[in-house]
Amino acid sequence: MTLEDKIALCSGKDFWHTKDMPQYGLPSIMMSDGPHGLRKQEAEADMLGVNASVPATCFPTAVTTGSSWNVALMHKIGQAIAEEAIAYQVSIVLGPGVNIKRNPLCGRNFEYISEDPYLAGKMAADFIRGAEEKGVATSLKHFAGNSQETKRFTSDSVIDERTLREIYLTAFEIAVKEGRPKTVMCAYNKLNGIHCSDHKKLLTDVLRDEWGHQGIVVTDWGAMNDRIEGFKAGCDLSMPGGSDYMEADVANAVRSGALEEAVIDENVDRMIDLILQSAARLQKDAAFDQKAHHELAKAAAGEGIVLLKNKDNILPLQEGTKVALVGKMAEKIRYQGAGSSHINPTKLTQPKNVISHTAFAVGCDERGNTSEEMLKEAEHVAHTADVAIVFAGLTEVYESEGFDRKDMKMPEGHVRMIEAVASANPNTIVVLMCGSAVECPWADNVKGILYAGLSGQAGAEAIADILYGKINPSGKLAESWPMRYEDCISAKEYANQRDALYKESVYVGYRYYESAEVKVRFPFGYGLSYTTFSYDHLQVQPLADGMYQVICDVTNTGNIAGKEVVQTYVAAVNSEIFRPAKELKAFAKIDLEPGQTKQVAFVLNERSFAIYLGKTYMDAMDAGQVLAEGWYVPKGRYNIMIGSSSQKIELMQTISVDGMELKSPKWQKDSWYETLVGEPQQTTFEKMIGYSYTCKQHHKGEFTMEDTVEEMKNESFVMKLMYNASAMVIKKGVGGKITEDNEADYRMMLSSSVGSPLRSMMISSDMKGGLFYGLLDMANGHVFRGLGKLIGIVK
């Protein structure tokens, strides 16, 4: 291949295809979003899920499948999505997403599996295996440190090495090592100062050399920062395309000796492998079984929906109960989120059509607003029924790719509707539809709460079957539900400035709530069943190589068959170095007939006890020990806990584990990391990351190509004009009027355009220099020089 062709092969042909090069026998292959279904676009393409895609099964989103804790189910979903991809001639499915749910407000939490890296990694690995064994490649995303939507194109995720390894990289590590995805998608953001697309340590040293990733790295759409650095880092494919000037720059760099051609060859080799293998697997005239996949989507929802409250065993409902349904969402279910994962379902069931009821009141409108009249009607129908079921949660505009929620509250109308119904009927049940935790100040006033998450196209059928006891609920929360947003340790820091400082370190989700003893509404790993389980006979036995076998008995002590998620947590007793109160290290979902007992066995390995010591922890080493950065098992006593949730520990045994004698790093003493009182201090955080951090928020005169129209608009007239023009064009594009149906799309499109740095606008427009540098000069107050560049007089 010529140098130019090699470089060209490493950027997409269009939105969804690689380039075909018949002269070398290379066809083009297609990719489509994931992660909970196939979003294959045939006509107008976009990365935001706005334009139509072909009909495909909309499986429950990751928030709901994540709550199933069922790896076999993930495997089946992976297989089913792959079958649909094959039928539609798609070679790569862009998913799963394993970014950690660091904070409940992240707009994309519904697309991610968990706040716990072990759970997220294990579930993703099985999804990947399921799809890849059918011959369809997956793309594990977004690598890495992409746990917020605010300023997702520009922010720097500042994460110390230990936290990165123990929390934010672990899910990727498990999924790569066990699932072997053919592609990994690098994130938009920077990680510790370096764009993920240019991050050699991330994409080569860790991903390939340490974890053994054999496939390619593809950029998130528009995430390529610098094509030369990208090649050096091992970033193979730039999507949706490159720009001619960037490719010419790469060729010049090779000619001048600044970049070795061998580096490009490695990238190209991987690309060719992927393309040829994928093309060989394409099948003509393949079809998929729509009905069977709809049933699988229902089964998945049935396993992932979580019963959060069941006072007086209000559920399951008896046949013949007079049921009133309340809420717009009973007529128009919220079953998936907005953005690139948006699926065009093959079928969609509405709760009102499948839940037998005697009365219905709409209770609120689609935006979640209510009125006195609507509330009166809701109270009336609730009053006349034996049981009232309210459908509430978050409406479309609250959760989307592209922006974060501003608080953790439900729409006020939903809260008022629940309260009105609960005051009219003591037997009130709330079915919650939302992609992440919400505040539930009304929780004590209702008898039942069923968390449906975003349950996919067959979600309503699963909800109906759970309400009437045809399915025994078995979902357990994959994220903690704090009482109030302020209880979340990252609340103050989250999305409050250009960069994302992960000051709370390893104290994410239950790791924080359990350690700091902060009361939560519903803990991680929690979920009720219509039956009960008992736990006995815990045994922990050493095996070879620092491994342990953990065995216990679980019995179904109720009258109906049910499934239980058995969770193994590990905690170091009196650890010198700060560590969370417990961490999930193994789990299994088992089904039990009434009265049946099953023995459950887990294996813990060295990693189950290890911590990662980055450079800033080196004085934690014993005097005289000069060791490399890496995973170490601290010697000491460990509690091995079997829980039915992170809070409810059923069995515990303490063991002594051999390992290294480690002391805490000097900066830890009396800090927040040790006491968990107050807030993490900036000074200690800087010691932990190893440098002093200053936020690079620019002002007029300092703006660079890394700044966005949105950031510059308040200080620059020309940027304000650009902002308003973008808003106008986008508004026109969604029909000229912002409605409930298009508001999320509007906000997402706006944030994706005015939130992009000038640099990426320049790359996607393929116009190097002039225009964008001119605009930048003008934003910085150099109007004439800027104009000169704009019209091409000044270079």
* Contact positions vs ligand BGC (CB under 6 A): 33, 47, 94, 141, 220-221, 340
Report the SS3 class of residue 531.
coil
Nearer Cβ to ligand BGC (38/390): 38
Q: Which is nearer to ligand BGC, 138 or 645 (CB)?
A: 138
Cis peptide before 35 (omega within 30 of 0): yes
3-class SS of residue 550: strand
Residues in a beta bridge with 592: 562
Per DSSP, the residues of 690-752 read TS--------TTT--TT-BHHHHTTT-HHHHHHHHHHHHHHHHHTTSS--TTTHHHHHHHHHH
What is the DSSP track for 245-267?
A: HHHHHHHHHHHHTSS-HHHHHHH
Catalytic position from the list 33, 126, 198, 220:
220
d(CA 719, CA 776): 9
Whether 766 sits among the annotated catalytic residues: the reply is no
- Please identify, using beta-carbon distances, which residue of 716 and 756 lies nearer to ligand BGC: 756
Measure the CA–CA gap between 254 and 759, rounded to whole angstroms: 23
The residue among 238 and 646 lying less far from ligand BGC, judged by its C-beta, is 238
- In angstroms, give the least distance from the CB of 199 to ligand BGC: 17
In contact, 709 and 726? CB cutoff 8 Å: yes
Least distance between ligand BGC and beta carbon 496 (Å): 22
User: Rounded CA gap, 37 and 62, in Å?
Assistant: 11
Indicate the DSSP class of residue 318. P
Pair of tokens at residue 358: 């005697």
DSSP strands (E only) in 74-144? 92-94, 137-143
Amino acid, res. 727: A
Minimum distance, C-beta of residue 755 to ligand BGC, in the bound complex (Å): 11
How far apart, in whole angstroms, are the C-alpha atoms of residue 223 and residue 296? 34
What the block records as the tokens of 186 is: 């690098």
Minimum separation from the CB atom of position 710 to ligand BGC (A): 17
Residues ≥6 apart with Cβ < 8 Å to 184: 139, 140, 141, 143, 172, 176, 207, 213, 215, 216, 217, 218
Identify the burial level of 66 via C-beta atoms within 10 angstroms of its C-beta, where 0-12 means exposed, 13-18 middle and 19 or more buried.
Answer: buried
Give 47 or 251: the residue with its C-beta nearer to ligand BGC.
47
CB of 96 to ligand BGC, least distance (A): 10
> Cβ of residue 189: shortest distance to ligand BGC, in angstroms?
11
Q: Is 222 or 453 the residue whose CB approaches ligand BGC more closely?
A: 222
- Interatomic CA distance for residues 686 and 681, integer angstroms: 9
In whole angstroms, what is the distance from residue 172 CA to residue 178 CA?
10
Query: Interior CA angle at 405 toward 719 and 401, to 5°?
Result: 70
Choice between 31 and 434, CB closer to ligand BGC = 31
> Cβ of 55: how many Cβ atoms within 10 Å?
17
- Rounded distance, CA 550 to CA 535, Å? 13
Q: How far is the CB of 174 from ligand BGC (least distance, A)?
A: 20
Would you mind telling me the total number of residues written for the chain in this entry?
795
> Interhelix angle for 372-383 vs 412-424, to 10°?
30
From the CB of 88, what's the least distance to ligand BGC, in Å? 16
Of 46 and 289, which CB lies nearer to ligand BGC in the complex structure?
46
What's the closest the beta carbon of residue 221 comes to ligand BGC, in angstroms? 4
- Residue 240 CB, shortest distance to ligand BGC, in Å, is 8
For 591-631, what is the HEC assignment? EECCCCEEEEEEEECHHHHCEEECHHHHHHCCCCCCCCCEE
Whole-angstrom Cα distance, residue 128 to residue 135? 11
Residue 340 CB, shortest distance to ligand BGC, in Å, is 4
In this complex, which beta carbon is closest to ligand BGC, that of residue 31 or of residue 74?
Answer: 31
| Min dist. Cβ of residue 220 to ligand BGC (A) | 5
Beta carbon nearer to ligand BGC, 141 or 416 = 141
Q: How many helices (H) and strands (E) does the chain have?
A: 25, 28
When the beta carbons of 184 and 613 are compared against ligand BGC, the nearer one is 184
Phi, psi angles (nearest 5°) of residue 642: -105, 125
Cα–Cα distance between 611 and 636 in angstroms, integer? 13
Pick the closer one to ligand BGC by CB: 141 or 328: 141
- Looking at the Cβ atoms of 128 and 776, the one nearer to ligand BGC is 128
Cβ neighbours for 19, distance < 8 A, ≥ 6 positions apart: 8, 9, 11, 12, 13, 26, 28
Q: Residue 201 in 3-state DSSP?
A: helix
**Cα-flanking dihedrals φ and ψ of residue 427, to 5°?**
-95, 65
d(CA 110, CA 67): 11
> Distance (Å, rounded) from C-alpha 151 to C-alpha 404?
10
Smallest distance, Å, CB 535 to ligand BGC?
A: 40
| Active site residues per annotation | 220
